[in-house]
Amino acid sequence: MTEQRTPLWEVFIRSRNGLAHKHAGSVHAADAEMALQAARDVYTRRGEGLSLWVVPSDAITASDPADKGMLFEPTSSKIYRHPTFYKVPDDVGHM
């Protein structure tokens, strides 16, 4: 195929006010405006959202799964970061 490739965009939807935008999928479109229109047609045919974001896919920097251990494992040993680590007498009540 000699045709020029149409850029890829990631689509995020806010399902209702008060909630964060959540990744829904991706679309191909020549520019941001058309990406929004395509996202609306492809991902919100049944009242899935009140707000859409489209982001060029190549603008996202992702962590490498190979670094998962280095990045995330240290937290599993730091149980003192959780409230349940601390002992409080029962008669103190809810804290």
CA pseudo-torsion sign 88, 91, 94, 95 = negative
Residue 41 or 88 with smaller CB distance to another protein: 41
Residue 45 or 94 with smaller CB distance to another protein: 45
How many whole angstroms separate alpha carbon 3 and alpha carbon 18? 42
How far, CA to CA in Å, does 3 sit from each of 6, 26, 29? 9, 20, 14
- Least separation, in Å, of the C-beta of 14 and another protein? 17
Contacting residues toward another protein, per CB under 8 A: 1, 3-6, 8, 25-31, 34, 41-42, 45-46, 62, 64-66
- Least separation, in Å, of the C-beta of 7 and another protein? 8
